Structure 1
Amino acid sequence: MEAKLFSPYTIKGVTLKNRIVMSPMCMYSSHNEDGHVQNWHQTHYTSRAVGQVGLIIVEATAVTAQGRISPRDLGIWSDDHIEGLQELVNLMKEQGAKTGIQLAHAGRKAVLEGEIIAPSAIAFNEKSKTPKEMSKEDISETIVAFKNGAKRAAKAGFDIIELHGAHGYLLNEFLSPLSNKRSDEYGGSVENRYRLLREVIDAVKTVWIGPLFVRVSAHDYHDEGLTAEDYITFAAWMKEQGVDLIDVSSGAVVPAHITVYPGYQVKYAETIKNGADISTGAVGLITSAIQAEEILQNDRADLVLLARELLRDPYWPRTAAKELGVQIESPQQYERGWM
């Protein structure tokens, strides 16, 4: 049986050489609170491209300065950020990787000086700052910020954009009834709670024609929260709007105890894929090639995203190929070591 992990995958005209994706992971490595790419980012991401990762999604990159998770987050709120991101894209592409960027707004989980914003004035936990409830003007400005971020991502040369709708950040906060207590058209019903994400997707698609992913937290781990079944509805709406793939994670919209084990989130990707008939990516303690191959062979997801495992081993695709008995190309400079 041919290893599906190393088969190409084409989505809206972009072909990944394999199904291995580097999940976006914040590096908190920008200096001077300016959001610019540093040498560290170039070394970190390019190493995984040399390691033969098919798609590398750059960490959560803030569409506004107020929307950073931390003062050291990458930013895409200014045209001044384009040059550094473009250099980073070119370095990854030279090594054969396709490139993605995750556009993000931290909402109430921003750990910054000054005012932070959210759908409702509810702090994440007792140690967190209470956010300001967003006005209609704040919402409109945020939609424009995502649109402008997408425009800058296109100028930087990224192949794929992912919207960060997971892990308790702003778009996720609007989706979940646990964090959205609004009484206007952006709160209450399922349709209303989806409205901000709908408007962000529509705005982004006016300036972006490439593949569009959305990362979601498909389980709130709370009796009154959302589950993967709820996300089938959201995913169906996203598909209608032209979203190409749902990157399925879970949790972090409210404090919760989560029992984790290898592949613990794969079932959510499978539920959404089958329920909404949309492509999905699976993530969550996926560490071995056999595990990744099982997910793909059984059509539980279309792509496999690795996070911490790619921090431990930048050349994990080579490790996986050896485990599956597959020959893959290696950088010419490394051939004598990878024979």
Structure 2
Amino acid sequence: MKDLFDMVEFGDLKLNSRIVRTGLWESQREKSGNMTPEIYNRYENMAASGVGLIITELFSLYPRDVFSKYTNTVNYSRFVREARDLTDLVHIYDVPIFAQLGLVQYNKRLEQNIKVEDVTVEDIRKIQTDMIVAAQKFDYGGFDGIQLGLGNYYFLSRFINPTFNSRTDKYGGSTLNRLRMVLEMIKVIKNTTKLHINCRLNAFDGTTNGMTLNETIDIAKLLEKHGVDSLQITRPRSPQFFTRENRQKNPLIKAAEEIIDNVSIPVILGGGVNSQNQINDLLNSTSIDFISMQRPFVNDPSFLVDWQIEGNGESHCITCNNCYWKKTSTCHIRPCKPEYYSPSI
């Protein structure tokens, strides 16, 4: 039988459990972007808890992107030095860590949130170059991998979606053409870094003439063929979907299984679980091997320690989504013990 605390392989990496922590907002950074002692302490508590893989809070590609005031960016002078301190700390516990890179809106001078069809080929080359440079910074900073945001309603998810991409050049039309911008980047990242490449991908989006599960499967196959090492399956506006009332109704489970059946790389189910028994039941009744959690780690970065002791643990997160709406990396309803967020004395 599978258990969430199994030691498992994840591509070329070895994980201490099947639990993947995925971050979102970073509210404890300094205004200059620098990491604080509270951030290092939180990551150390997560790494020591029994988590298998840590995916960081979002790093914004551009400092003036719509989410950049709620996240760190890669664009400050001490980023690589501080990233190395963070990754060295996590690696003490034999836990791999991926940097999550996000581009939500593409802005150019006075033009804001430029539509996919209005992005020029020169713009595409700039975005690709900036993402490749960010990946190289992550590599220098000691990260084991990079997560590219192809899901939710981030810029690249819209670029590969026929609802938003009506281009008539080689970056529009067929599935391959709409994915071309991403595939070109992946090739260079693979050739210039040692990073494991993970893509966060929508299973479907529910828009008219938009992404269906069948096309997502085609995209997953193309990503694998061109060097992507793993996938995380999500959906647009997933934090709004996963509430206390509907956490048992998760359509991503069936979608993730269908994707797993069509690729040979690891696939992570993104969100929707809250208890040890629920996760183990899911692991043993489906083909899913890896589970992502975000808000339970906001509520308590060390909750997995209690789960290992209790054997039937349940997160104290009530899925109120205040951390999402208020865009913070700390819990508003049930603050954790002070030592979980403050540096050790």
Measure how far apart 1:196 and its partner are: 1.3
Structure 1 gap segments, 5+ residues each: 122-132, 327-339
User: 1: distance between equivalents of 2:86 and 2:110?
Assistant: 31
- Which residue of the partner structure matches residue 37 of structure 2? 39
Q: Which secondary structure state, in structure 2, belongs to the residue aligned with residue 224 of structure 1? A: coil
- Deviation of 1:47 after TM superposition, in Å, equals 1.9
Q: What amino acid is aligned across from residue 59 of structure 1 in structure 2?
A: E
TM-score in terms of structure 1 length? 0.82
Distance 1:300 1:287 in 2: 19
Describe the SS at the equivalent of 2:42.
helix
Aligned partners of 1:257, 1:156: CA distance in 2, in Å?
33
| TM-score of the aligned structures, taking structure 2 as reference length | 0.81
- Rounded to whole Å, the distance in 1 between the matches of 2:57 and 2:278 is 24
Higher RCO, Cα 8 Å, sep 6+: 2
SS of 2:72's equivalent?
coil
> What's 1:175 paired with?
160
Q: Is the 8 A contact 1:77 1:148 kept in 2?
A: no
CA contact 2:163–2:208 (8 Å) conserved in 1: no
* Conservation of the 8 A alpha-carbon contact between 1:220 and 1:251: yes
Shift of 1:147: 1.0
Does residue 232 in structure 1 map to residue 217 in structure 2?
A: yes
Cα contact 1:173–1:180 (8 A) shared by 2:
yes
Q: 1:160 aligns with which of 142, 145, 162?
A: 145
What is aligned with 1:19? 18
The equivalent of 2:176 in structure 1 is: 191
The superposition leaves residues 272-296 of structure 1 with CA deviations (integer Å, 9 ceiling, x where unpaired) of 1113343200122211112212332
Q: Given the alignment, which residue of 100, 103, 119 partners 2:101?
A: 103
Amino acid at match of 1:179: F
1:94 Cα offset (Å): 2.3
Equivalences, count: 310
Which residue of structure 2 lines up, in the alignment, with residue 51 of structure 1? 49
Q: 2:296 aligns with which of 297, 304, 309?
A: 309
Cα deviations by residue, 1:210-245 (Å, 9 ceiling, x for unpaired):
322110111112232212221110000111112121
Question: How far 1:78 moved relative to its partner?
Answer: 5.2
RMSD: 2.8
* Residues 91-170 of structure 1 mapped to structure 2, 5 A cutoff: 91-107=89-105, 115-120=111-116, 133-170=118-155
CA contact (8 A) 1:211 1:244 kept: yes
Code of the residue aligned with 1:152 in structure 2: it is: K
Q: CA deviation at 1:267?
A: 2.1
- Whether 1:291 and 2:287 are equivalent positions in the alignment is no
- Does structure 1 conserve the Cα–Cα contact (< 8 Å) formed by 2:60 and 2:73? yes
Q: Return the offset for 1:260.
A: 4.3
CA 1:26/1:162 → structure 2, altered by over 3 Å: closer, same or farther? same
Following superposition, the deviation at residue 199 of structure 1 comes to 1.4
| Alpha-carbon distance, 1:36 to partner | 2.8
- Give the Å deviation of 1:30: 3.4
Deviations 1:146-171 (A, max 9, x none): 11111111111111221111111111
Q: Read off the aligned partner of 1:164 and give its amino acid letter.
A: G
Residue 211 in structure 1 maps to residue 196 in structure 2? yes
2:242 and 2:271 in contact (8 A); partners too: no
Measured in 2, the distance between the counterparts of 1:178 and 1:35 equals: 35
Q: 1:173 to 1:50 in 2, by over 3 A?
A: same
> Quick check: 255-264 or 169-178, which moved more?
255-264
SS of 2:78's equivalent in the other structure is helix
User: What SS does structure 2 have at the residue aligned with 1:4?
Assistant: coil
Question: Once the two structures are aligned, what percentage of the paired residues are identical?
Answer: 23
SS of the equivalent of 1:291 reads helix
Matched, 1:278 2:265: yes
Answer yes or no: is the 8 Å Cα contact 1:262–1:284 preserved in 2.
Answer: no
SS of the equivalent of 1:89 reads helix
Instruction: Name the CA shift for 1:118/1:216 in 2 (closer, same or farther; >3 Å).
Output: farther
Structure 1 partner of 2:72: 74
